[in-house]
Chain A
Amino acid sequence: MKRLAEARKQRDVSRLADAIPYARWMQIAPENGTGELLTRMRYHDSLIGNTFLPAIHGGTLGAMLEMAAIFHLLWETETETVPKIVNITVDYLRSARPLDVIASAKVTKQGRRMVNVFAEAWQDDRAKPVATAQAHFLVTADDEPPAL
């Protein structure tokens, strides 16, 4: 959380991912070059789930949508704790080709304890999403340790 405070103060969104080993390993990181917070998963060969098409593994799309939702909550809301994911439902719309995947997220409903987030992922054409997700997060500090 200390790093989060520092990253917010310096308006350096890229530092959000540095502290998360899984985000580094997957090459998933937020960026806000266009003024909008987006999350990018850089293409690398170990993301492939189907070598015959070829296509990116569906699990990695779910993972990056989840990370996009978390980065959005950390950056765009005033949360003082790491949001704790309760559940996520991913809809797979198209097979994802061996290219970078970009995702945006928005808060559908902000409650006192629970937040509902919608996230959407695409590749070269934002109008053709490869996957979307709806997720719930607990944002209170007095619950169990975050599962992030």
Chain B
Amino acid sequence: MTKSLTTPEERVALFQKLFSDTIPHNRALGLKVLAVARGLASMQLDWCEELVGNPETGVLAGGPLTAMLDGCCGMAVATMLKEPMPFATLDLRIDYAKPAEPGKAVIAEAECYRITRSVAFTRAFAHQGDSKDPVAAAAGTFMLGTKGKVTPAHQKGREILAQGRKL
């Protein structure tokens, strides 16, 4: 193991680098990692003009929410891996509960609630400050051990698990 991650702030900063800054599309969306713990991940998407789907209302398009929820579920999976391995989204369902309020950030909270040898199961909600009043809900499954290299993101997720600490 490399350097021990002693504080929640250090862990968030590391996951920001691994799951947003070094993933071109997440960086383009400006995704911010808010929190990470074993099986849990949270990210924020700030409202911006380019991401609007309906110019008459200023409501965000569904796409940026889909991308954030996919990324957030994937980050939750990374914290649950027993050993580092590549994985890929198998399917993702998004329920659009209500339009996101224009001008306000959207927060995603994802949980990886079950992991097997081949598949990881996740749930996520997106809200704008009140988690009991979601704008969207997601269910994603991930295929584990897919082709490709073990990335630093896979490696670090495992370290969080090894520490077994909740934030």
Chain A interface (Cβ within 8 Å of chain B)? 19-26, 45-53, 56-60, 62-64, 66-67, 82, 85-92, 95, 144-148
Contact = CB atoms under 8 A, between A and B. Distances in A.
Interface of B: 22-28, 49-55, 57, 59-64, 66-71, 86, 88-96, 98-100, 146-149, 151
A48 B147 CA distance: 17
Contacts of A148: 53-54, 59, 61-62
Given A90-B66, A146-B59, A148-B62, 4 more contacts: A21-B49, A53-B148, A57-B71, A58-B70
A64 B67 CA distance: 11
Given A19-B55, A22-B52, A145-B59, A57 B94 contact: no
What are the nearest 6 A-B pairs in CB distance?
A59-B67, A63-B63, A22-B61, A57-B25, A46-B28, A147-B99
24 contacts: A20-B61, A26-B63, A46-B28, A53-B148, A57-B24, A57-B26, A57-B67, A57-B71, A58-B70, A59-B25, A59-B64, A62-B66, A85-B62, A87-B96, A88-B93, A89-B92, A89-B93, A89-B94, A90-B66, A95-B146, A145-B99, A146-B57, A147-B96, A148-B54
A147 B23 contact: no
Given A22-B52, A53-B148, A62 B26 contact: no
A20 to B, nearest CB: 6
Contacts, number: 148
Contacts of B28: 46
A55 to B, nearest CB: 8
A57 B51 contact: no
B70 A89 contact: no
A137 to B, nearest CB: 10
Contact of A92 (B26, B55, B89): B89
A92 B70 CA distance: 12
A114 B16 CA distance: 40
A53 B151 CA distance: 10
Given A21-B52, A22-B50, A92-B88, A47 B24 contact: yes
A86 B67 contact: no
A113 to B, nearest CB: 16
Given A85-B96, A92-B88, A62 B70 contact: yes
